[in-house]
Structure 1
Amino acid sequence: MEHNTTFPIKINELDMLRDEATSYLKSIQWEQSQRAKNREGDTKDQSILLYLSRANNGGNVSITSVSKTILSLKKRLLPESVALPILLNQTLYAVQEGLVLGTWIKDSYYDASGLSSLSENKSALDRSGRREYESKMHTATAFMLFALSYKILHDLKPHTSDDLSVMKQKFAGIPEVSFLTPLKGISCQLFYYDKYLGHPEIINSDQDVLDFTVVYFEALIEEIQLRKSSLEYTETILDRTYKLEKSDFAISGWDNVFSGTAKSIEFNKIQFEQIVGNRDAKHFARRLTERMLSYDFEAKKNPFQELGGFMPVFMGYGIPGTGKSMLIAAIATRLKEHADHLDIPFLFHPMPDTLISTFQGGSAEKMVEWMKPMQDPTKLIFAPIDDAENNLQERTTQGVSAGVKEVIGVFLRYTEGAYAVNYGNSSIGLFTNLPEMLDKAVISRVQGRFKIDGARTKHDFVDQDYIWWKKLQDTMPDFVNMNDPEVYKYLSEQGLANSMGEILHALDVPSEARVHEAFDKAEQLHDKTDHMFYAALYKEIQKIFPFFSSRDVRNIQSAISLRLTDFDLEQDWFEHPEKYFKKNYNSKFQMLQELMKSNMKGLNFSDIRRQEVIRYLDNVATIADTDFKRQVASRVHQLEIETKARAEFKG
């Protein structure tokens, strides 16, 4: 179901619930069920399960105090400390805030679902009313426990240890979860949470307290997810999002951002040779994969980043039908094959089509959820955005939705600025038929760009046909009764270029008239081999395109740096990974520096600079022109409608 409304969680309303939450931490009572008491530890440590089952010393009702347990932990772990140590304090506060939020969510569900009025008239309810009351009570309790766990994870997850596997090994599961009433739900969960904290083998440091809390409430969310299908009256949970004031915390149905990190999406396997034409795009894609594979998991950085040859954001653009989707699949295929061979974890993480949400704030949350995994340094991540103009459209265009603006805001924050973390293991690819419709700030984040122009030569077209009729020939050998080319060998031109120079060798003059004009003006003032030539050229370009800025100059510089690292990794390294891929960071960096030096011997800096400047400025002009022509066409169309309307009105 599409979420359609956002409700604010007001801080002043939460303040009123804090005393209730504190009272739960001070004291709750719980009577263990027989099943939990007799539970056999069939999978995990018997002693912990036995300890939990005997938690109330043989009596039926046990009174528990989480805050007392935390204080006794402080005495055991840090006897010298006067104040409550920071991690214990942080954990206790997060659990309290979780309880506050869960209580608020429960109250909200009571009102939205009609449970409040059922409670008030409880004594007068008939059988079906009674059943509805109980059923809604279960749902209210489950959603409250889900919300409180989710808030605790949101607050504590950033502070956990890097590796929680030891803690997860110690954890023997939650013996029981109660959905009977909200009070029973909270009492039951705090009871077992408290018992675990009191177990001497579980907690050995204050960090353990925080880590265990995350493991415990993650397990509670999993339990709820397993049982949520049996719950009824969930419409008022699924149709809305609750957003906490002055915070990025939001709860949207049963969605769980923390449920493991993103899983790789399935894709069709395609080799570069199956893509016709697109030499520039294929070359770029091949370089991208080699650079990503050079990432060092120990050092959490990529030697190509230091050499100036890595692109966290790139763009492929071209007219429809030229092979964008095939190219995305081919990049993913190549990365996956090499990653499998090198035993490296790989995540194919395309942007989902359903990102733009109709409710306020929803798109931003979904975008954050999509971008978060790209900060994970433990795997290689390729994150394509197909038809990027749909989600990253120019914000100033009339009729652009609030959702698109939210998505762009998050994209810009995560690609440059305080949130932008790039270890050199992830790359976002924008693929579009309409680059002129992309937001200018988004385009300015693009550090590498290439044309996806499909078949361009006679040989490209004959190869495109060959790929098609070859399938017919395989099934019916004599059916295709036509002659092959006399000289050309099929697909021989669809291989990969050795370098960008091979593709751009003819690129000496701009193809766009206005860029050509600016070149001529700059040439009248300075020689092409003078540094001042480019300063004068950029000034001329700025007169024509006022949005051209220092960031564009930086993008040109990074395109030139990319050319300096435009060399093949030795084939031998792929066959024997220990020679390069398995080496430590410094060794890889030195080997790449050697390759770069030997590659630069055949290059000419001023030629490369000229080619890349022309390539970039032609691109700027094409995008600006297309945008302008589209605006003119739209204005002309509007005027035609107005003229026609006036004529009909007079008539």
Structure 2
Amino acid sequence: MAENTSLMEIKRSEIESFVSSVTDALKKSRYAPAVTASASSQDVVGRRRSFSMNPVQTGVGVASDFSLVDAIHAVSADDGLPTAAETHILREIREGISIARAVVELFQKTTELGRLKALNSATRLTQEQRDAFSEYQYAAGVIMSFVSASYVAWALADYLANPAIVDEAPESSEFGFANPIAAQEAFLWELSTVVKAARSDASLAKIVRDFCVKRSKAVSLTSVGTRLVEAFVSANYRVEGSEFSINGFAPSERKVSSATLSMTFKKPEEVVGNHLAKSQCNRLAKMLMAYDFKLQTSPFVELGGHIFTFMGDGFPGTGKTTLIQMMAGLLNDYCQVAGYPFVYRNFGVHEISEYQGRSGQNCQAFITAVTDPRVIGFGTVDDIDLIAASRDDAHASNGQKEVTSVLMDAWAGPSTVVRGNCTFGAFSNYPEKVDDALRQRAGARFLIDGPQTTEDYIDLLALLAGQSGQEALGLGDAKGKLFATQNIQAAAEKSYAKHSRPQEAKITNLLDQVTGEIGELDNIHKIGVYMKRIQEVEPRFTGRAIKNIMDSVKTRCMDFEIPDEWMEKPETFMHRSMPDKISMVRELMKPMTAEMVLQEVNRYADSEVRYSDKSFDKAVENAVQDAKVRAAAVEKLGRGHA
């Protein structure tokens, strides 16, 4: 995954250096609108398209001069002078384009575009360099278009808001991504066209605002398939003297507030069994609260141990929903103490649409809301096997496959940025049905197996019975012993120790074979031999599996109980400086051990074998059922002819 970069501030002097040329462009520009047709599979400059929603250029129309200033002033032509609203809107458009030009300038300096541009000026580009230059120019055009529209939508968010105004801007279709200047001209030309429908200042503000919202969303969707934008996506821009921020292709909003959650929260003591999953969810909730909003990183990202994605699997009724309610409740409470905005989102089957591209768009909006660096985010995908289908599933809908593609890119794609402010949990009763590549993007695996011990069943019975029920069931004498085994830390330690040996017979036999050959697996060389042998019997045990295992080991190094006092008063930990947080966390870290690595190898290998076996067993079960149905049909048909 891409590492988080430091904050990049756009100086006023950098923005103002473009104001004069942008002012001239507002007064007079020249543009040739594209002749469009329905979308095809390929766009200009060889860009791969993930969505076929937007028109593509099939030719260039007649170029002509136009003036956005004149088009906007024409709204109040009867008055003879531009209104204050018209002037304000023009100034915000100029500001947005100037900011976009400054961002493109920074993009040019931090990528190969700057060098290629200099070589192009000297006409010394090879064919390969010309191709690369065109692709970089295209990426810069995408950035230019997004930032311009995003700023104007942000700046005019509440300007002259009037619910009675119903005028609506059309969808954006002219992008001009070939280079930044082409993108600027296309943006101005479309604005000059759509504002002609305005009939008042409030109408003008709404049309411009709506158009820019739609344009920024359309460009954001396009960015999913655009190459070479990693430097822009991984950087976080702030405009000097402004609250406006640019965080990749996420929409910018003036205010961020916590969504009011309607779910029923659960306390950790109300979750019986699932000791490892409960321990890790509890710890992860506290880890998220270490996030530094100014630097947009976390000590658990810097030192290791942050869980960006995890998958919880288990039989129906084992407690997946309860764990979600527990973790969301903890985060909600902690954020209230710290004064941080908290966002919880669940992506469900209702987000899958029959319209092409809509499912992917819904999923991208879900990702954007949770990863917003200005919030603490928790996103869940419940029943992921029903939502994100395997790519080779002939029965899956296009919408399900769109979701799979978006999740794969968001969770471990080339532009993924892990800041430490959010986590995603995928839950399933049938994880073997999830696309292999998507499932392996879950950095941690939580087996949700529900109550296991006699004490677990007694505790669950007592919990559900309630106070009066406990008395009626004769549990009064045992109250001192109730929930004693549910202590998170003690139960987790016991559960980890259980994984010193695998739980699946296939891996247990393999471990015995390897230890019989080379002795106890007490160093990295021997564990490496063991992992290679696992790969020979389980092909899904790939390099990504090793990365996920080591991420889990680093999390185990953070396997300490974060003091509750850190969560009770924000000044104790949450509002401390990043160096202080890192120092406090480092003092509690545990050393990495071979035993720890072996346990995590066993846990991960067990999960892959479990998924494979369940998939095979299900296939056998289906085949047997089909055979029974055919046999019954033949028998019934025979009786009918008798």
TM-score normalised to the size of structure 1? 0.66
Distance 1:249 1:186, change over 3 A: farther
Counterpart residue number, 2:599: 611
Query: What is the match of residue 186 of structure 2?
Result: none
Q: Which residue of 2 aligns with 1:494?
A: 486
1:189 aligns with 2:198: yes
* Conserved 8 A contact 2:298-2:420: yes
1:487 deviation in Å?
7.7
Q: 1:539 aligns with which of 526, 529, 532?
A: 532
The whole-number CA distance in structure 1 between the counterparts of 2:510 and 2:586 is 36
1:465: which partner in 2? 461
Gap change, CA 1:641 and 1:342, over 3 Å in 2: same
Letter in 1 for 2:262: E
Task: Quote how far apart the aligned CAs of 1:343 are.
Answer: 1.1
Q: Give CA deviations for 1:398-432 in whole Å, capped at 9, x if unaligned.
A: 41222111101110111122331221101000111
* SS at 2:576 equivalent: coil
Q: Give 1:573's aligned residue.
A: 566
| In structure 2, C-alpha distance between the alignment counterparts of 1:290 and 1:181, rounded to whole Å | 44
Q: 1:518 to 1:268 in 2, by over 3 A?
A: same
Give the distance between the partners of 1:269 and 1:180, measured in 2 at CA.
40
The farther-off stretch of 563-572 and 321-330 is 563-572
Inter-partner Cα distance in structure 1 for 2:445 and 2:431:
11
1:639 correspondence with 2:627 = yes
CA distance in structure 2 between the aligned counterparts of 1:263 and 1:24, rounded to whole angstroms: 38
Give the corresponding residue for 2:147. Answer: 158
1:134-213 equivalent positions in 2, closer than 5 A: 156-158=145-147, 171=159, 179=167, 186-187=195-196, 189=198, 192=201
Q: Do the aligned residues in 2 keep the contact of 1:381 with 1:425 (CA within 8 Å)?
A: yes
Q: 1:626 to 1:89 in 2, by over 3 A?
A: closer
Q: What CA deviation, in whole Å up to 9, does each residue of 1:315-368 have, x standing for no partner?
A: 111111111111101101001101111111111111133121112222111111
User: In the alignment, what sits opposite 2:616?
Assistant: 628
**Structure-2 residue corresponding to 1:218:** 209
Equivalent position of 2:545 in the other structure? 552
Q: Whole-Å Cα distance in 2 between the matches of residues 220 and 326 of structure 1? A: 42
Q: Which runs of 5+ in 2 are unaligned?
A: 1-50, 105-140, 171-191, 226-249
- The within-5 A match list for 1:210-289 is 217-218=208-209, 247=222, 264=259, 265-289=261-285
3-state secondary structure, aligned to 2:265? coil
* Partner secondary structure for residue 419 of structure 2: coil
The residue that corresponds to 1:516 in the other structure is 508
* One-letter amino acid of the counterpart of residue 506, structure 1: K
Distance 2:157 2:383 in 1: 44
* Residue 560 of structure 2 is aligned to residue 561 of structure 1: no
Structural mapping, 1:287-366, within 5 Å: 287-366=283-362
- Alignment-mate amino acid for residue 56 of structure 2: I
SS at match of 2:380: strand
2:343/2:370 contact within 8 Å kept: no
Q: Match of 2:239?
A: none
Q: Which amino acid aligns with 1:625?
A: D
Q: Secondary structure at the match of 1:390?
A: helix
Residue number in structure 2 paired with 1:102: none
Structure 1: which amino acid aligns with 2:505?
A
Distance verdict in 2 for CA 1:174–1:533, change over 3 Å: same
Name 1:411's counterpart in structure 2.
407
- Cα offset, 1:467, TM superposition: 2.0
Distance 1:520 1:190, change over 3 A: farther
Return closer, same or farther for 1:163/1:243 CA change in 2, 3 Å cut-off: closer
Q: Aligned partners of 1:362 and 1:419: how far apart in 2?
A: 22
Q: Map 1:353-502 onto structure 2 (within 5 A).
A: 353-470=349-466, 472-473=468-469, 480=472, 482=474, 484-486=476-478, 489-498=481-490, 500-502=492-494
Alignment partner of 1:526 out of 518, 523, 526: 518
Alignment partners' CA distance in 2, 1:556 and 1:29: 62
One-letter amino acid of the structure 1 residue matched with residue 575 of structure 2: K
2:450 alignment partner, SS class: coil
Gap change, CA 1:562 and 1:193, over 3 Å in 2: same
Say if 1:163 and 1:429 are closer, same or farther in 2 by CA, change over 3 A.
farther
2 CA distance for matches of 1:161 and 1:530? 53
- 1:590 aligned partner: 583
Counterpart for residue 497 of structure 2? 505
Deviation at 1:449, TM superposition (A): 1.5
Cα displacement (A) at 1:184: 11
Secondary structure of the 1:430 match is strand
* Equivalent residues of 1:323, 1:452 under 8 A apart: yes
- Aligned pair in 2 of structure 1 residues 170, 470: CA closer, same or farther (>3 Å)? closer
Do the aligned partners of 1:154 and 1:249 also contact (CA within 8 Å) in 2?
no
SS across alignment from 2:484? coil
Given that 2:267 and 2:326 are in contact with CA atoms closer than 8 Å, whether structure 1 keeps it comes out as yes
- Distance in 1 (CA, whole Å) between partners of 2:151 and 2:542 is 41
* Matched residue, 2:235: none
Q: Give the distance between the partners of 2:493 and 2:328, measured in 1 at CA.
A: 25
1:220–1:52 Cα change, 3 Å = farther
Q: Given residue 527 of structure 2, which amino acid in structure 1 is its aligned partner?
A: Y
**Alpha-carbon offset, residue 267 of structure 1:** 1.7
Counterpart for residue 83 of structure 2: 52
What SS does structure 2 have at the residue aligned with 1:363? helix
Code of the aligned partner of 2:617: K
Q: Please state if 1:10 is matched with 2:1.
A: no
Cα distance, 1:495 vs. partner? 3.2
The one-letter code matched in structure 2 to 1:445 is R
| Offset, 1:443 | 1.5
TM-score, L = length of structure 2:
0.67
Offset at residue 26 of structure 1 (A):
5.5
Q: Note the C-alpha offset of 1:630.
A: 0.6
**Aligned-partner residue type, residue 638 of structure 1:** D
**Aligned equivalents of 1:85, 1:347: Cα separation in 2:** 32
Q: Any conservation in 2 of the 1:351–1:370 contact (CA below 8 Å)?
A: yes
Report the AA paired with residue 83 of structure 2: L
Correspondence for 1:109: none
Q: Which stretches in structure 1 are left out of the alignment for 5+ residues? A: 1-5, 38-49, 56-63, 78-83, 92-151, 196-212, 225-241, 251-255
The answer (yes or no) to whether the contact 2:553–2:596 under 8 Å persists in 1 is yes
The structure-2 alpha-carbon separation of the partners of 1:189 and 1:483, relative to structure 1 and needing over 3 Å to count, comes to closer
Deviations 1:218-249 (A, max 9, x none): 37889x9xxxxxxxxxxxxxxxxx98999469
Shift of 1:284: 0.9
Corresponding residue of 1:148: none
| Cα distance in 2 for residues equivalent to 1:159 and 1:24 | 15
Deviations 1:179-220 (A, max 9, x none): 59999973353985999xxxxxxxxxxxxxxxxx9x983378
Cα–Cα, structure 1 residues 401 and 481, in superposed 2: closer, same or farther, change >3 Å?
A: closer
Q: Please give the alpha-carbon distance, in whole angstroms, between the structure 2 residues aligned to 1:163 and 1:499.
A: 53
- The structure-2 alpha-carbon separation of the partners of 1:613 and 1:506, relative to structure 1 and needing over 3 Å to count, comes to same
Question: What fraction of aligned residue pairs are identical, expressed as a percent?
Answer: 23
Secondary structure, in 3 states, of the residue corresponding to 1:385?
Answer: strand
Q: Secondary structure at the match of 2:425?
A: strand
SS at match of 1:490: coil
What is the rounded CA distance, in whole Å, between the counterparts of 2:422 and 2:553 in structure 1? 21
Q: Which moved more, 1:179-188 or 1:491-500?
A: 179-188
- 1:552 and 1:373 map into 2 onto residues whose CA distance is 28
How far is 1:155 from its partner?
Answer: 7.0
**Cα RMSD, aligned residues only:** 4.5
